[in-house]
Structure 1
Amino acid sequence: MAQVARPAAVSKSRPAAVSKSRLTTVVFAVLAVALTFLPAAHAQPTIPRPDPDPFYAAPPDLAGRGNGDVLRYRPVDVSRFGNADGWQILYRSTNSTGGPLAAVTTVMVPRGGVDGPLVSYQAIINSLGTECGPSHTLFNGQLQEAPTLRVLLARGWAVALPDHLGPYSAYGAARLGGQVTLDGIRAVQRLPEARLGRSPVGLTGYSGGGMATAWAGALAPTYAPELPIVGVAPGGVPANLNELATGLGTAPHPLFGLAFAATLGLEREYPSRMMVSADLSPAGMSLRDQIENDCSQEIIDAGANRSAAEVAKDPMQIESPLARSVFDENSVLFYGGAPRAPVHIWQGSGDVLAPVGSVATTVRNWCNAGTRVQFDVVPGDHGPAAIEGIPGAFGWLGDRFAGAPAPSNC
């Protein structure tokens, strides 16, 4: 399929200044209601501004490099997080249609450590801009999960944070996030200065970061079978995007901007199948152009209390097979593979964003495939469940790094 020309840049995103229980509640609310796929003319997707820092630019020989190859790297000061050294790495990965891309991860390594445990931490990313992800927000005070990173480093673990939305901030493209995560681990282990070439690897993340984590775990046996992953610990995973897209309302909502941004992110990754821009009303085009380079809070402010009826020409045309196929391809529930490494997954009992039922079905599929899974349902909705489950997830990862047998309640 023909691909839309895109600039060579790496995208990033910033968590919003709202509670996590509401942060992504409507992220996919508009996915099934703001799309029409039958227009005569195809409006082109937005593409983000290239990052002005030349470090993020893809080299001309990108296509000839292998997944996880280090393209360039630089030291960064991570002393605010603990007694650690840090590097940023530009590396080669692959997009959803098999094309090459250049992505960035930031790794922090406790000083004096050699081949100690490595945690790939997938942060919550909600943006369309190229200045909003962990490789930036780690250093400008905008990463809400920063205290968690201090806890991990204090345990003596190295931590890598990939900008897992890829170079065009493909917000909503969860399978892409898994691939970028795995190639980021490869890159970290190939950087001699990091001294992590033989480190056991654990993966964790919550909500959108949990989607990337779950996908990385499920893809690893075929996409990156050589990685020494000893545990996968996602939480708050939206496992079925179609369920979210059809199950959430279309009334005006304070976080509608995030939902709208997710459709634009998926259109960037699947430009021949998610023709969102072709169906936007004048108001929708105006909002699209306003937020196409924005981070979370700007997106939330611009879209507050708007609705699909306002931004789409005909929000009732919701049953496109093309759209549903994209949702399915990014829903870990429907992926045929399963993690080989043990899994600890936690979910809120009252989570309206990521209902327990779809996660339980995903767990059952993985158990049937032979994966050892510890599935914990904790009290609360999406936000409270994050806090409730993190200590158990970190303790579980510690046991995997220590070589203890993995529990399972399959």
Structure 2
Amino acid sequence: MDTWLRRSAAAAFAILAGLALATPTASAQPPVADPDPFYWSPPDLAPHSNGDVLRARPVDVSRYGNADGWQILYRSTNSTGGPIAATTTVLVPRGGVDRPLLSFQAIINALGTQCGPSHTLFDGQLTEAPALPALLARGWAVALPDHLGPTSAYGAARLGGQIVLDGIRAVQRLPQARLGHSPVGLTGYSGGGMATGWAGALAPTYAPELNIVGIAQGGVPTNLSELANGLGSAPHPLFGLAFAATLGLEREYPSRVPVDNYLTPAGLRLRDQIANACTQQIIDDGAGHSAAEMTRDPSQVNAPTLRSVFDENSLQLYPGVPRAPVFAWHGTGDQLAPLDSAAATVRRWCGAGVPVQFDVLPGDHGPASVEGAPGAFAWLDGRFAGAPAPSNC
């Protein structure tokens, strides 16, 4: 499975490589609008500040424990500085004020907005759902942002970091949650780890007022350009995930990643099939296809415009560093997110004085996610308790 994921990621860059060969601008395919008007953006976003609550509603989260829940629509910012409306769902154990607040970035490999945690928490599709009762039992409030944003821009990692931070602001501004002065922790794995890492690195400048006490991230692909060096365009079982990532990046960078201009008829058909799909449909519809089949020329991987999009979403290349201590875990044989890039990112943060506990675990991407999670939650417990952060820098 993890070898498939590595090749699938490489295929994504093969698709993207052909996109900077010409200059016409295409129109990105948006997801189908959610029929629930709660998610609809009000027309007057500009006057609001990042993290302002636009609307909120209670939701039943009793399946996860003795907790109250709310969904919040709030103001955030996209990758070009424009205002957007984003969503988070917060679960709060009953009783108490200013409980520790954990922003949990779920893995969202999807192009439909219905695939985000605000939906999957309630339809049985959230992969990380089994962890929530134990986290609530610790006395923590847990917020799960839809960190791909209102267009489900799968692949746009920096955007995810901004949405995470503004989601925390929104939760702390919701009076009913009584979390206005809570210490904050961040966690996530793989794609959720990308949003977590970006939130941690952006926080000192983007949201310096937040009291983030710890950042636990695992299996993070920190350098997207490096992944492009492993191109592969043979038919692949998980090709759909790669293809979906190109469509997600097009949604966030329509003039710089004009996918439609370079797709073959087969590529256009697959685009239409998965434009509003969740993970399993994307995998099923894309299985056995390839970049060579779907694009006209996937050979120019070093195109400057394309590489600049990769670099802007590569945590290793972002000069900012977290202010809070970090716990990072990674598999020694991780073929999706290379260990070397993650280690280089940690070394740079260590060199800047960030306390980092970096645990390298045996195994590939999938097994490491399970093996590292208990240590991450135990580490966060220490940060919420105010204990000094360990470091093996």
Deviation at 1:270, TM superposition (A): 0.6
Q: Report the RMSD for the aligned CA atoms in angstroms.
A: 1.2
Provide Cα deviations, 1:194-247, integer angstroms capped at 9, x if missing partner.
Answer: 010010000000000000000000000000000000000000000011112222
Runs of 4+ in 1 over 6 A off after TM superposition: none
Note the alpha carbon deviations across 1:50-94, whole angstroms, 9 max, x for none. Answer: 111000011111111000000000000000000000000000000
Between the aligned partners of 1:25 and 1:135, the Cα distance in structure 2 is 28
Which of 84, 93, 97 is residue 76 of structure 2 equivalent to? 93
Cα distance in 2 for partners of 1:42, 1:230 equals 43
Q: Counterpart of 2:313 in structure 1: which amino acid?
A: N
| Counterpart in the other structure of 1:15 | none
Q: State the identity as a percent.
A: 72
TM superposition shift of 1:25 = 3.5
Q: SS of the residue aligned with 1:351?
A: coil
Is the CA contact 2:56–2:72 (under 8 Å) kept in the aligned structure 1? yes
Aligned to 1:7: none
TM-score by length of 2: 0.97
The answer on 1:386 being equivalent to 2:378 is no
Q: What corresponds to 1:191 in structure 2?
A: 174
Instruction: Tell me which amino acid in the other structure corresponds to 1:224.
Output: A
Gaps of 5+ in 2: none
Q: TM-score, normalising length from structure 1?
A: 0.93
Look up the match of 2:227: 244
Partner of 1:292 in structure 2?
275
Report if aligned partners of 2:104, 2:144 keep a CA contact under 8 Å in 1.
yes
> What's the offset of the Cα at 1:22?
6.5
Query: How far off its partner does 1:113 sit?
Result: 2.3
Partner of 2:255: 272
Change (3 A) 1:112 1:120: same
Deviation at 1:252, TM superposition (A): 1.2
CA contact (8 A) 2:186 2:214 kept: yes
What aligned pairs does 1:315-330 form with structure 2 within 5 A after superposition?
315-330=298-313
From 204, 210, 213, the equivalent of 1:230 is 213
Corresponding residue number in structure 2 for 1:219: 202
Would you say the 8 A contact 1:27–1:262 is kept in 2? no
Tell me the distance in 2 between the aligned counterparts of 1:151 and 1:26.
35
> Structure 1 unaligned runs (5+)?
1-18
| Equivalent of 2:139 in 134, 152, 156 | 156
| 1:112 CA displacement | 0.5
* CA displacement, residues 288-321 of structure 1 (integer Å, 9 cap, x when unaligned): 1111011111111010011100000112232210
* Inter-partner Cα distance in structure 1 for 2:8 and 2:290: 12
Report deviation, 1:40: 6.0
Distance, in Å, in 1 between the alignment partners of 2:8 and 2:316 is 18
> Shift of the alpha carbon at 1:109?
0.1
* Residue aligned with 1:64, SS: coil
1:402 aligns with 2:388: no
TM-aligned CA distance change 1:379 to 1:152, over 3 Å: same
Q: Contact conserved, 2:21 with 2:303, CA < 8 A, in 1?
A: no
One of 338, 346, 354 as aligned partner of 1:371: 354
The match for 2:193 among 205, 210, 217 is 210
Once residues 328 and 398 of structure 1 are traced to their aligned partners in structure 2, the CA distance between those partners, rounded to angstroms, is: 33
Which structure features the higher share of helix residues? Answer: 2
